[in-house]
Amino acid sequence: MPLSLQNQTLLPGRNFIGGEWCGSADDRTLSVADPATDEVFAAVPDSTAADARRAVDVAHAAFPAWRKTPAKQRAQIIKRWNDLIVSHVEDLGRLISREQGKPLAEGKGEVLYAASYVEWFAEEATRADGDVIAAPVPGRRMLALREPVGVIAAITPWNFPAAMIARKIAPALAAGCTVVCKPAEDTPLTSLALVRLAEQAGVPPGVLNIVTASRERAAEVVDVWLDDARVRKITFTGSTPVGKHLARRSADTLKKLSLELGGNAPFIVFDDADLDAAVDGLMVSKFRNGGQTCVCPNRIYVQDKVHDAFVDKLAARVGALVVAPATNPAAQIGPMINARAVDKIERHVKNAVSRGARVVIGGERIRNEQCPGPNYYAPTVLVDVDASMDCSCEETFGPVAPVTRFSTEADVVAAANATPFGLAAYFYSNDVRRIWRLADALESGIVGINEGALAAEAAPFGGVKDSGYGREGSRYGLEEYMHIKYVCQGLLD
């Protein structure tokens, strides 16, 4: 069934290049399916290298005027974009839920979360000041000026179709950069809707361009941007292998890079923790978006004394989760994004069980009257999980909570850090000395102490090690789109 919105213009079904809505160069299209049923309900362009090149041409041509536009004026346009996003929360929330599968309340929550970054960077745009440096020699005036880096290419994943785009495009526009963007194959519609609203907010033609493409053509499109020296920065959120490929291929043109990559977050519960708060924190961080978030706890370590009590409390809460399509107002866990995702979850659970883990609850696909499609998996708790299992080594990206028992702080810190990834880490403890020891010892870009929901527009989000580099959100997020120019004037005396 086609999606009907209050504002149907939010479904342009076209690329946006140089201020015009257009099809792909060879008119091929890409079908968009509802993960709740796998039913196709929309189509967008399946773009080619020629479309990607044209997007860079117009973004490059638009850069000189946009960078000279006073920051205050840029800020006003971005602020209008924020206002339009907020006023379309219903439509955008429904769009996200339909193409991504998350429950409607979460879809609407994501819209406001995305808008919070847009508003933040509208405000930051006017504060991108440089410095006057105290000259170490007489007769000189020395300045550090901030400049936009130029044309930006943004490549985004499917799990937060609005937020991932917003927290790249808003700081890029605020800094004075122009943008070419490719969203994920599974979720192109939300990004097109956001660009439609940016157009209405007054973003000038050529400043923001978007092309959609199938998985088959993703590399064809993105390779054009990687190889083109006019593109000065790649900002990417997605998997680590693709991030490494982008870093390698953009080396020839030495682009600036922000890579927000995969995670494998530890979630540690110590004997001295507030157990109910720890269960609350885990429910929020593990089961949001059905476990399909990069900061999801993927390895849960619980200390001996509280292990059994924690697992009992957790299993009771997990067993009460309502799995249903986003259209069901009671839904707490929707379908997974596609068949590949459910296959991976199933493979991880089977692998864990074959190596000695025990299923406390869940552990199987769901298909019934309430969940009529093929992409549902039951919220699951596993115990007796060890480091050799696939679910401890790779992101499961699904509603599976694998629990490992531990004895000492030293053991658990070593286990938590024994991964190439370093995006988020969480722990629960009431011992103030342990809290700061752990905050220092965990190899991670983000640490949650007695807190499961960490992301906020004012906070720097990003990883270390194989989870990438660069930060999104906060004042650091704007710096990613600027470089420093040192200006020195002599003969002052």
The minimum distance between CB 201 and ligand NAP, in angstroms, equals 24
Query: What phi and psi values does residue 311 have, to the nearest 5 degrees?
Result: -60, -40
The minimum distance between CB 61 and ligand NAP, in angstroms, equals 24
State how far the alpha carbon of 212 is from the alpha carbons of 4, 203, 384, 385, in Å. 21, 19, 43, 40
Q: Find the residue with minimal CB distance to ligand NAP.
A: 238
Cα 392 versus chain centre, distance: 21
Residue 260: name the closest of 228, 235, 288, 289 by CA. Answer: 235
Residue 74: name the closest of 38, 13, 122, 33 by CA. Answer: 122
Binding range to ligand NAP, per CB under 6 A, among 216-224, 267-275, 307-315, 478-486: 216-224
DSSP string, 322-368: PB--TTSTT-SB---SSHHHHHHHHHHHHHHHHTT-EEEE--SEE-S
Tell me the per-residue interface mask from 457 to 476 with ligand NAP, x by CB under 6 A, - otherwise.
------x-------------
The minimum distance between CB 189 and ligand NAP, in angstroms, equals 13
Binding range to ligand NAP, per CB under 6 A, among 110-118, 214-222, 410-418, 480-488: 214-222
Residue 245 CA to residue 225 CA, distance in Å, equals: 13
260 flagged as catalytic: yes
Residue 148 CA to residue 130 CA, distance in Å, equals: 12
Residue of 124, 185, 260, 395 with catalytic role = 260
Cα-Cα-Cα-Cα torsion 327, 372, 30, 112, nearest 10 degrees, comes to: 30
Residue closer to ligand NAP (CB basis): 109 or 238: 238
Binding range to ligand NAP, per CB under 6 A, among 195-203, 254-262, 350-358, 484-492: 254-262
The minimum distance between CB 90 and ligand NAP, in angstroms, equals 24
Amino acid at position 372, single letter = P
Residue closer to ligand NAP (CB basis): 124 or 260: 260
Exactly one of 100, 116, 159, 289 binds ligand NAP (CB under 6 A); that residue is 159
Exactly one of 82, 156, 332, 404 binds ligand NAP (CB under 6 A); that residue is 156
Residue closer to ligand NAP (CB basis): 67 or 256: 256
Residue 83 CA to residue 119 CA, distance in Å, equals: 8
Which residues of 190-288 form beta strands (DSSP E)? 208-210, 231-237, 256-260, 265-269
Partners of residue 485 on adjacent β-strands: 145
Amino acid at position 142, single letter = M
The minimum distance between CB 300 and ligand NAP, in angstroms, equals 17
The minimum distance between CB 159 and ligand NAP, in angstroms, equals 5
Please tell me whether residue 263 binds ligand NAP under the rule CB under 6 A.
yes
Residue closer to ligand NAP (CB basis): 352 or 423: 423
The minimum distance between CB 385 and ligand NAP, in angstroms, equals 20
| Number of residues binding to ligand NAP, judged by CB under 6 A | 25
Please report, as residue ranges, which positions from 414 to 443 form the binding site for ligand NAP (by CB under 6 A): 423
Amino acid at position 68, single letter = K
Helix (H) or strand (E) holding 147: strand 141-148
Please tell me whether residue 185 binds ligand NAP under the rule CB under 6 A.
yes
Helix (H) or strand (E) holding 87: helix 71-87
SS3 (DSSP) at 249: helix
- Check: CB of residue 18 under 8 Å from CB of residue 54: yes
The minimum distance between CB 243 and ligand NAP, in angstroms, equals 7
Residue 165 CA to residue 413 CA, distance in Å, equals: 34
Please report, as residue ranges, which positions from 73 to 92 form the binding site for ligand NAP (by CB under 6 A): none
Please tell me whether residue 219 binds ligand NAP under the rule CB under 6 A.
yes
Residue closer to ligand NAP (CB basis): 119 or 185: 185
Query: What phi and psi values does residue 40 have, to the nearest 5 degrees?
Result: -75, 130
Residue 453 CA to residue 147 CA, distance in Å, equals: 34
Residues in the chain: 493
Exactly one of 237, 258, 298, 392 binds ligand NAP (CB under 6 A); that residue is 237
Please tell me whether residue 260 binds ligand NAP under the rule CB under 6 A.
yes
Exactly one of 239, 253, 338, 450 binds ligand NAP (CB under 6 A); that residue is 239
State how far the alpha carbon of 204 is from the alpha carbons of 53, 132, 195, 199, 230, in Å. 19, 32, 12, 7, 19
Residue 116 CA to residue 120 CA, distance in Å, equals: 6
Please tell me whether residue 218 binds ligand NAP under the rule CB under 6 A.
yes
Binding range to ligand NAP, per CB under 6 A, among 71-79, 231-239, 305-313, 485-493: 231-239
Please tell me whether residue 234 binds ligand NAP under the rule CB under 6 A.
no
Please report, as residue ranges, which positions from 364 to 403 form the binding site for ligand NAP (by CB under 6 A): 395
Binding range to ligand NAP, per CB under 6 A, among 39-47, 87-95, 239-247, 322-330: 239-247
Residue closer to ligand NAP (CB basis): 176 or 188: 188
Residue closer to ligand NAP (CB basis): 38 or 411: 38
- Check: CB of residue 352 under 8 Å from CB of residue 390: yes
Residue 273: name the closest of 412, 387, 381 by CA. Answer: 412
State the catalytic residues. Answer: 260
- Contacts with ligand NAP by CB under 6 A lie at 155-159, 182, 184-185, 215, 218-219, 222, 237-239, 242, 245, 260-263, 294, 395, 423, 463
